[in-house]
């Protein structure tokens, strides 16, 4: 398509040059206004782009159109005669006959999730229509998507194998954060406090993201339960929402893996975080139907809650400099850890409570309509 447009632009430019040359010659050197054709050409290109975008939007909202067979079939499994795509007695697909090479191919592909409800097709949908795919799945359209939990397991195993096979020596590819480059000295108090947290986060990245995703189920339910779409979505639905977003995160991490040969780990983590933030905003907009601003301020409260919970767990788990040291006895360290951990937890609860109250005020009209139903 791009080559056709480029070829058309070259032909058009040549014709425009010929018309301009003839016009200048006929007018004894006086220029003739000929930009109307150029304007029409640009408007035509914009119209084509707009039309393609509209088709893409329609595909995002309705990617699959099912066609039911109207011919009569006899089931090879139970012998029942029926009309449709599947036998109503035993659920075997219509048209199943003798085993051929296509059957062998289908069986092998099913092992890796590349057959019915293809894993690759679901990955493509996650990248191109993340919110709409999640919306379809929790609305009951199970056949449009590869099983999310199974997909998360396959992607996690693939990521671990590829990562450790391609990068056995992580230091050679800039793995690890250089605190000196960020302005911290090696014996600095801030370095002592941040380094154990970062080292643990670095070696348990998948578990951290898995834990935060599960914790995010509750604040997401609180902040988005009165959304225009999927109003009053349930916590089990929230579980699958977060699982599918984790699938998307694993896909993006797999796509970025080859870049480890060329960029440092700190740069790639920053780029990955930025891409994930953009995808989360797009996905939540498509899923819940809020505007960009409506998604952003609700996500701020969700991430504020997650940050408070993560800080509370970090204080309790690690021997940080401001809660441990030779000046404190074990009993004092435990008391200080409990205090700081409780303060961070209270902060997280207050952030979510504030967001909940604001959300109640903003969505009061929606809640009144729901009470009438």
Cβ atoms of residues 132 and 61 within 8 Å: yes
Instruction: Go through the chain and tell me how many residues it has.
Output: 373
Region of poorest pLDDT, from 16-20, 153-157, 158-162, 317-321? 16-20
Cβ atoms of 300 and 351 closer than 8 Å: no
> What is the average per-residue pLDDT within 24-33?
41
Q: Are 245 and 280 in contact (CB under 8 A)?
A: yes
pTM of the full structure = 0.71
High-pLDDT (> 90) share of the chain, %:
23
Model pLDDT, residue 157 = 85
- pLDDT tops 50 at residue 167: yes
pLDDT score of 224 more than 90: yes
Per DSSP, the three-state class of 284 is helix
225-275 tens-digit pLDDT:
889 888 889 999 999 999 999 999 889 988 888 887 777 767 777 888 899
For residue range 87-146, list pLDDT tens digits in order: 888 888 887 777 878 778 777 776 655 555 678 888 999 999 999 999 999 998 888 888
Residue of higher predicted confidence among 66 and 292: 292
pLDDT, residue 219, reads 94
Phi, psi of 112 (to 5 degrees): -100, 15
**Is the pLDDT reported for residue 2 higher than 80?**
no
Alpha helices in 139-234, H assignment, sequence order: 148-166, 189-203, 205-215, 217-224
What pLDDT shows up at residue 332? 66
Q: What are the sequence ranges of the domains in the chain?
A: 2-52, 75-100, 119-372
């Amino acid at each position: 398509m791009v080559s056709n447009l480029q070829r058309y632009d070259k032909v058009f430019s040549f014709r425009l040059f010929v018309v301009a040359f003839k016009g200048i010659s006929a007018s004894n050197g006086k220029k003739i206004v000929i930009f109307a054709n150029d304007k029409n050409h640009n408007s035509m290109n914009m119209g084509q782009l707009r039309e393609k975008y509209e088709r893409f939007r329609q595909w995002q909202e309705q990617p699959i159109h099912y066609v039911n067979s109207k011919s009569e079939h006899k089931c090879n499994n139970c012998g029942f005669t029926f009309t449709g795509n599947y036998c109503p007695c035993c659920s075997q697909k219509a048209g199943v006959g003798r085993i051929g090479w296509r059957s062998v191919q289908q069986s092998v592909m099913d092992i890796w999730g590349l057959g019915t409800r293809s894993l690759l097709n679901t990955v493509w949908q996650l990248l191109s229509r993340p919110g709409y795919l999640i919306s379809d799945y929790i609305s009951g359209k199970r056949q449009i998507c590869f099983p999310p939990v199974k997909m998360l397991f396959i992607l996690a195993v693939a990521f671990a194998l590829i990562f450790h096979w391609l990068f056995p020596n992580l230091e050679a590819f800039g793995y690890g954060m250089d605190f000196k480059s960020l302005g911290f000295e090696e014996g600095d108090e801030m370095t002592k406090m941040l380094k154990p947290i970062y080292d643990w986060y670095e070696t348990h990245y998948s578990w951290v993201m898995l834990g935060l995703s599960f914790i995010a189920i509750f604040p997401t339910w609180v902040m988005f339960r009165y959304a225009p779409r999927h109003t009053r979505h349930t916590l089990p639905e929230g579980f699958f929402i977060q699982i599918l977003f984790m699938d998307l995160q694993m896909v993006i991490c797999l796509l970025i893996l080859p870049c480890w040969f060329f960029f440092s780990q700190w740069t790639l983590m920053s780029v990955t975080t930025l891409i994930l933030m953009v995808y989360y905003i797009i996905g939540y907009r498509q899923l819940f139907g809020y505007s960009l601003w409506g998604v952003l301020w609700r996500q701020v409260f969700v991430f504020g809650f997650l940050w408070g919970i993560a800080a509370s767990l970090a204080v309790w788990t690690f021997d940080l400099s401001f809660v441990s040291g030779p000046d404190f006895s074990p009993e004092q360290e435990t008391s200080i850890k409990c205090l700081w951990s409780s303060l961070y937890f209270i902060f997280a609860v207050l952030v979510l409570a504030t967001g909940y109250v604001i959300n109640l005020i903003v969505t009061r009209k929606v809640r009144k309509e729901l009470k009438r139903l």
